[in-house]
């Protein structure tokens, strides 16, 4: 089956085969990866290599911390404002989809803080991301938050927004490690692993410590596990981390490095996305892409057919040919093809071919 699921997404077969062997015994330890202590030297080595490989792949600046947390990207919607936003302060949010909207809801819970919507494309059905000229940023926000790739609507930033030196925070969950990016432009980046980097259960956070207020009242009010400082001080080992999810992520990062790193990954991702967008553009009266051309996501490709009945038939017929997970998100409908890092080129070729045939038959 070719797995077009938006998340959890497809993982490299090599990774799964290696993990299978290590379920029974991690290397020569005689203890499986699901059963090994997070304080063992074997796991500590895995954690250290995972961090080192992330730093290499993304050129993470030395002064940024790398954390492996739980609770998904959704918990970061809360942790970011809880840790960074003081009463009386303002945070700017660029809203380009459902995940950004949810991040705003959590930020608004901070007593006495202001949430300013610097831009939103909601009135256009989130079919694009705003240009920098459209941003109405506040003068001195604690941070500017945005979503690099909108998993549900299928739009993506092709550039890093220029926020004039204000601290930039990004939810990178669905295009993390899919292309080279300048991490030094950010104050904080977070990504749930299950789209591109590994399985569900671990969330990677990259942050500059200097962005954390030292305010004693704020610090005293934060539960231990929701305080970034706890995880910084304990190297992500304050409590039991998501051992297995980190282990798989570690194998995925090795796989990425073996494959030529992010430039090679970006080339393959572009090639896959072009095949599917090509099939949409080849039948313009039949397929209708959701994203405006300059905001098209290379990870999640969303489109409609002339009727919901045809969309159902499209999904059913695809599944019969080994193409799974193409049904769009329940909030937008239509079709969504997610072609994350581990998704093979041959799967994109199959989908493009199926689309051409389907349009010919029903168009």
SS3 state at 14 = helix
Single residue of 66, 73, 113, 168 touching ligand PLP by CB under 6 A: 73
With binding defined as CB under 6 A, does residue 51 bind ligand PLP? no
Minimum CB separation from ligand PLP for residue 154, in Å? 11
Write down the least CB distance from residue 117 to ligand PLP, Å. Answer: 18
Under the criterion CB under 6 A, does residue 187 sit at the interface with ligand PLP? no
Is 7 a binder of ligand PLP (CB under 6 A)?
Answer: yes
CA dist., res. 110 & res. 116, Å (int): 13
Q: Which residues inside 95-154 make contact with ligand PLP, applying CB under 6 A?
A: 99, 147, 151
Residue 174 binds to ligand PLP (criterion: CB under 6 A): yes
3-state secondary structure of 28: coil
Which one of 51, 171, 256, 355 is in contact with ligand PLP (CB under 6 A)? 171
Residue 170 in contact with residue 148, Cβ under 8 Å? yes
Cβ proximity of 207 and 64 under 8 Å? yes
Range list of β-strands (E), 121-247: 144-147, 149-150, 155-156, 168-171, 188-192, 203-208
Pick from 192, 199, 325, 328: which binds ligand PLP (CB under 6 A)? Answer: 192
> Residue 85: which of 172, 261, 213 has the closest Cα?
213
Q: Which of 128, 195, 296, 304 binds ligand PLP (CB under 6 A)?
A: 195
Q: CA nearest 188: which of 20, 76, 46, 45?
A: 76
Give the nearer residue to ligand PLP in terms of CB position, either 22 or 96. Answer: 96
Q: Which of 352, 312, 317, 353 is closest to 335 using CA atoms?
A: 312
Residues counted in the chain: 363
Tell me the catalytic residues: 99, 171, 195
Q: How far is the CB of 196 from ligand PLP (least distance, A)?
A: 9
**Residue count, binding to ligand PLP (CB under 6 A):** 12
Distance in Å, CB of 109 to ligand PLP, minimum: 17
Q: Token pair of 222, please?
A: 């934060």
Dihedrals phi, psi of 288, to nearest 5 degrees: -125, 105
Determine, following the binding rule CB under 6 A, whether residue 70 of this chain makes contact with ligand PLP: no
The stretch among 18-26, 34-42, 68-76, 131-139 that binds ligand PLP (CB under 6 A) is 68-76
Q: What is d(CA 151, CA 159) in angstroms, rounded to the nearest whole number? A: 17
Write out the residues near ligand PLP by the rule CB under 6 A: 7, 72-74, 99, 147, 151, 171, 173-174, 192, 195
């Amino acid at each position: 089956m070719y797995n077009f699921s938006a998340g959890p997404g497809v993982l490299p077969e090599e990774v799964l085969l290696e993990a299978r062997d290590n379920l029974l015994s991690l290397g020569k330890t005689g203890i499986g990866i699901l059963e090994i202590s997070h304080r063992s030297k074997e796991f500590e080595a895995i954690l250290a290599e995972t961090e080192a490989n992330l730093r290499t792949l993304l050129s993470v600046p030395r002064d940024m911390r790398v954390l492996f947390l739980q609770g998904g990207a959704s918990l970061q919607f809360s942790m970011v404002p809880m840790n960074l936003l003081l009463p009386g302060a303002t945070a700017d949010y660029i809203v380009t989809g459902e995940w950004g909207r949810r991040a705003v809801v959590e930020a608004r819970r901070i007593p006495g803080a202001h949430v300013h919507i610097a831009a939103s494309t909601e009135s256009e059905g989130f079919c694009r991301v705003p240009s920098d000229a459209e941003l109405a940023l506040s003068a001195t926000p604690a941070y500017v938050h945005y979503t690099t790739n909108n998993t549900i609507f299928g739009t993506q930033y092709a550039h890093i927004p220029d926020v004039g030196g204000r601290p930039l925070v990004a939810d990178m969950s669905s295009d993390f490690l899919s292309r080279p990016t300048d991490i030094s432009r950010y104050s904080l980046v977070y990504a749930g692993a299950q789209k591109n980097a590994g399985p569900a259960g671990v969330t990677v956070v990259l942050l500059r410590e200097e962005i954390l207020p030292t305010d004693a009242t704020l610090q005293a009010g934060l539960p231990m596990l929701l305080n970034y400082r706890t995880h910084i001080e304990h190297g992500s080992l304050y409590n039991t981390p998501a051992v297995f999810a980190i282990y798989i992520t570690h194998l995925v990062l090795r796989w990425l490095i073996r494959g030529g790193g992010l430039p090679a990954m970006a080339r393959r991702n572009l090639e896959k996305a072009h095949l599917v967008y090509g099939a949409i553009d080849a039948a313009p009266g039949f397929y209708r892409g959701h994203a405006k051309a300059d905001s098209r996501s290379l990870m999640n490709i969303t489109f409609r057919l002339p009727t919901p009945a045809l969309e159902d038939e499209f999904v059913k017929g695809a599944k019969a040919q080994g193409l799974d997970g193409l049904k769009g998100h329940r909030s937008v409908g239509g079709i969504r093809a997610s072609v994350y890092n581990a998704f093979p080129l041959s799967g994109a070729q199959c989908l493009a071919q199926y689309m051409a045939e389907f349009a010919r038959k029903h168009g």
